[in-house]
Structure 1
Amino acid sequence: MCARPRDEGVAASTSGAASTNRSLCRTLRACATRTFERLSTDHYERDVPGEESYTQFNLQDLRRGHPDRIVIREFRRAEESRNGADWEWWFHSGGSGFGMRVQAKRAKRGGGYDLEHVVRSTGARQSELLVEDALIAGCIPAYVLYNHRNWVPTSETGRAVDCRHGLGTPTQLGCTIVSALTVRAELRGPRPSPARVRDRSMPWHRILCDAPGRGQTILEAAHTAVRDLHERGRDTLRAAVRDQYYAERNHARYSGSDDIEGWPALRDAPAAANGQGPSHAEEAVLGLPVYRGLDELAQTPLSPLPDRVRAILQGREAEPTDERLAGAMVVDLDTPRGDRA
């Protein structure tokens, strides 16, 4: 488990009184460090389990470290649906909150991820199902990446920086989070780069580490961080569509053909062929059913928790929204304004 990483220990006691004084941010940092070290060791020993195992390690440590603040519910699933399952994460305070639909990906030995995975039971791309299922569930879609290699992220948002819960270390990049729209954008190109997706991710603890003096509750700050993550993904997707538009236009100009080998996703919005511009291409793609409503979802204010989440909090039966949902983690952020996460 990730209970005692070398640089940031998680207190052994799991009593309610003890966990109240512990920081969720600090626990997430500790889990990231342990994931980084464990995945590195597993690759070295050539005995690497799937994403579900690392997810279970982290969920167990979060639940043990904060039993008064975190409730986890696992759902029974058919064997075929275990391949490519998601989790819902809900953050709440006083009956209101927001949700995320999360898919985990562990880094391979060389640092890449299986982002092009196809779910056997449906034949559909996992990334597309993640976005579609998130919309149905009223959640913002994201990927959690489990990493084992040091790198310097391309943006300040992605770097492991110091916060009031501890010093920034490269091992905190062991668990990072990125918008599912960023993944969808990368998959639209002829040569998807896992490194570009990784570089646009950020350490997952930064969701629950609001900057001092912002005048927000922890829940408000977390909601802002997740919406910003989603909006960066949307902007990346728009840029990818524009790149495809210009690639298609140039190809048509110099070859006299609409058949663009290596750009299969252009079939979604063949804008150049019919004389439309890049803005039309953006709207055509973002208007597809898989994306429709995600902009509105990101702008939705904190809202009352859905019945299925309240049922989990009350210890009642809760039905998953679909067979691919592995479980739900519900995090209580009900702390007074100005308190630390």
Structure 2
Amino acid sequence: MTSDLCYSFQKIASWVWERIELAQTSGLAFSEETITETILLDLATRHPTKVKIKAFNKTDEGVNGSDWEWWIGQAGSWFGMRVQAKRIKLPAETFAPLQRYGIKKGSTIGQIDKLLSQAKNDGLNSAYCFYFVSKKWPTLRAWPVYNFIGGGPISPQGCLVADATAVKAVGKDSLAALAPICVPWHLLVCHCAGGKFNSGSPADAGGGMLRTSRQLAASLLKVDDLGDAPDFPPRSELPSHINYLREGSDGLGRLKDADPLRGYAKERGLKGFVLIDTSESA
């Protein structure tokens, strides 16, 4: 875990806040797909030895997913997540129809349920990354304000992470309802939470963030708990397809043969893969 990655994550979050606001003023869509691709490209360009990505666009035969598979950690300890991004809708400040998206007549299985089940099937934790800007909430150094979350040299606004089980339990789509169960995304790679999420291990940080999200939701809903979190703790070895990305590419995923990753993504409806490797040798 390095200070340069921490700085980049915070700077990107501020950029997302500013750009969504500017896009709204200019009448541009600036979709979550565009935001995700831009910030991942930026991370991989700035940190080519630590951040590796491989994405598949709509021209890649049979690969047309929207979720990303993320792995973060270092040699001997890796944490995996299936992540879905959502961009705030203005001026209502909602992510609707998040809770009911994909539910059709005669079916109760929506996108959020598919995220949970598909992640579980692959031994991954499920999470949301929310891109947002707000005029209804005060501009603060950290969002939301909890006594265990520290600020930083750059505002961490713009990108929030929440456990998908916690999001489903809340059952609402508004920023006001979801922000209290979210954690600023930079805490994946920063120490400013005072040890709340980790003791130096980025894999532990990922699990700690999702665990905290569930705890916040349980407190908000006044229930005892929402089950174990993370569902899948850090593992000692990367899965073979991610190890292939780790060993066979530069930061932007230029591989001699992308078929192992393409086939995996096609089967699971994934947009692509992200590896954040904080090993000393990376």
Report which structure shows greater RCO (CA 8 Å, sep ≥6). 2
What is the one-letter code of the residue matched to 2:272? G
Aligned to 1:62, what secondary structure does the other structure show?
helix
Q: Specify the code of the residue in structure 2 equivalent to 1:224.
A: D
The equivalent of 2:186 in structure 1 is 205
1:155 Cα deviation (Å)? 3.9
Deviation (angstroms), 1:212: 9.6
Report the secondary structure of 2:89's partner residue: coil
Query: TM-score by structure 1 length?
Result: 0.64
**One of 140, 160, 168 as aligned partner of 1:176:** 160
Q: Which residue of 1 aligns with 2:124?
A: 139
> Unmatched 5+ residue regions in structure 1?
1-19, 244-278, 287-293, 337-341
Cα distance 1:313–1:35, how it changes in 2: closer, same or farther (>3 A)?
A: same
5 Å-filtered alignment, 1:151-190, equals: 151-152=137-138, 153-156=143-146, 161-162=151-152, 166-167=153-154, 169=155, 172-187=156-171
Using the alignment, how far apart are the partners of 2:70 and 2:118 within structure 1? 13
Q: Give the match for residue 305 of structure 1.
A: 238
Q: 333, 337, 341: which is aligned to 2:278?
A: 333
Aligned length: 257
Aligned equivalent of 1:226: 206
**TM-score under structure 2 normalisation?**
0.77
Task: Trace 1:7-18 onto structure 2 (pairs within 5 A).
Answer: none
Could you tell me how far apart the structure 2 residues matched to 1:226 and 1:21 are?
15
Which amino acid in structure 2 is aligned with residue 333 of structure 1? T
Greater percentage in helix: 1
Q: 1:50 to 1:123 in 2, by over 3 A?
A: farther
Deviations 1:171-202 (A, max 9, x none): x2111111112211111xxx654322123222
Matched-pair contact (CA < 8 Å) for 2:149–2:192? no
Per-residue deviation, 1:27: 0.8
Match of 1:130 in 2: 115
1:119 equivalent in structure 2:
102
Deviations, residues 262-294 of structure 1 (Å, cap 9, x unaligned):
xxxxxxxxxxxxxxxxx8xx8xxx7xxxxxxx7
CA distance, structure 2, for counterparts of residue 79 and residue 126 of structure 1: 22
State the Cα distance separating 1:125 from its structure 2 match.
Answer: 1.4
* Contact persistence 1:87–1:328 (CA under 8 A): yes
Aligned-CA RMSD value: 3.5
Is 2:36 the counterpart of 1:52? no
Separation in 2, partners of 1:328, 1:28 = 18
Larger radius of gyration: 1
- Does the C-alpha gap of structure 1 residues 67 and 173 become closer, same or farther in structure 2, counting only changes over 3 Å? same
Contact 1:138–1:297, Cα closer than 8 Å, also in 2: no
* Partner-residue secondary structure (3-state), 2:49: coil
How far off is 1:228 after superposition?
A: 2.4
Residues 182, 197 of structure 1: 8 Å contact kept: no
Shift of 1:323: 3.7
Q: For 1:68 and 1:227, how far apart are their aligned partners in 2?
A: 23
Q: Distance in 2 between matches of 1:213 and 1:199?
A: 19
